[in-house]
A and B are shown apart, each in its own frame.
Chain A
Amino acid sequence: KQEVTQIPAALSVPEGENLVLNCSFTDSAIYNLQWFRQDPGKGLTSLLLIQSSQREQTSGRLNASLDKSSGRSTLYIAASQPGDSATYLCAVYSGGGADGLTFGKGTHLIIQP
């Protein structure tokens, strides 16, 4: 059974810093990996989707990488801003229908002004 871990569970950094959030998974046979952000009281907003054949995806100040062989993905946030404060979740799809989607518990990120 796929397990997805996000470490650290919480992170607080000063504004302007570049930072990396981690997502690790136990079974490397995945179809894709998706990063989300969730603001308090809101739904999950899709940030980036990486297909298994891709190594990375970029959107603005965000860059997500995928290393299937090591079971890791990282979300790089450049020049962090207070508006980046949110919980970031990763989800891994391993196939086999909807049950094949596994979410991490998220990293709660606070950017200090």
Chain B
Amino acid sequence: DAGITQSPRYKITETGRQVTLMCHQTWSHSYMFWYRQDLGHGLRLIYYSAAADITDKGEVPDGYVVSRSKTENFPLTLESATRSQTSVYFCASKTGAGELFFGEGSRLTVL
């Protein structure tokens, strides 16, 4: 199916564990993004990537790592999960005209 797919959709982990959220797009858009969405904060940008091997920090990057070895994949890793990282994570990509498309989200709970 065309679009953005995120996996896993739901994840429960424990404090201190490493977690990787996957994001795959089928369009070959250059720009990709990771956001987290929390009640009271709305959407906040974690990291973004302008192309393969080019990544940059957003508003809330601490505790997260990203990589982009291929244009279509943009995984987000929590190196040592904390309870404050319990959230819904959204991956997105952007067309050349500037239209943003989102994945279905990954709901992460850190116990």
Number of interface residues of A (CB under 8 A): 23
Across the two chains, which residue of chain B brings its CB closest to A33? B98
Number of interface residues of B (CB under 8 A): 22
Contact B98 A51 (CB under 8 A): yes
Output the least CB separation between A94 and chain B (Å): 11
Interface string of B81-111 (1 = CB under 8 A from A): 0000000001010000111111111010000
In terms of DSSP, what is the predominant structure of the interface of chain A? strand
Output the least CB separation between A53 and chain B (Å): 12
Cβ of A44 under 8 Å from chain B: yes
Contact A44 B33 (CB under 8 A): no
Across the two chains, which residue of chain A brings its CB closest to B100? A34
Which residues of A in the span 23-38 have a Cβ within 8 Å of any Cβ on B?
31-32, 34, 36
Taking a contact as CB atoms closer than 8 A, the residue among B50, B58, B98, B103 that contacts A43 in the complex is: B103
- Which A residues are in CB contact (< 8 Å) with B33? 98
Contact A46 B101 (CB under 8 A): yes
Interface string of B20-51 (1 = CB under 8 A from A): 00000000000101000000001101001010
Cβ of A105 under 8 Å from chain B: yes
CA distance A32 to B98 in the complex (A): 8
Output the least CB separation between A59 and chain B (Å): 12
CA distance A87 to B103 in the complex (A): 16
Which residues of A in the span 64-91 have a Cβ within 8 Å of any Cβ on B?
89, 91
Cβ of B79 under 8 Å from chain A: no
Cβ of A49 under 8 Å from chain B: yes
Cβ of A61 under 8 Å from chain B: no
Answer whether A44 and B102 are a contact pair too, CB < 8 Å, given A98-B33, A98-B45, A98-B48.
yes
Cβ of B56 under 8 Å from chain A: yes
Contact A97 B56 (CB under 8 A): yes
CA distance A54 to B107 in the complex (A): 36
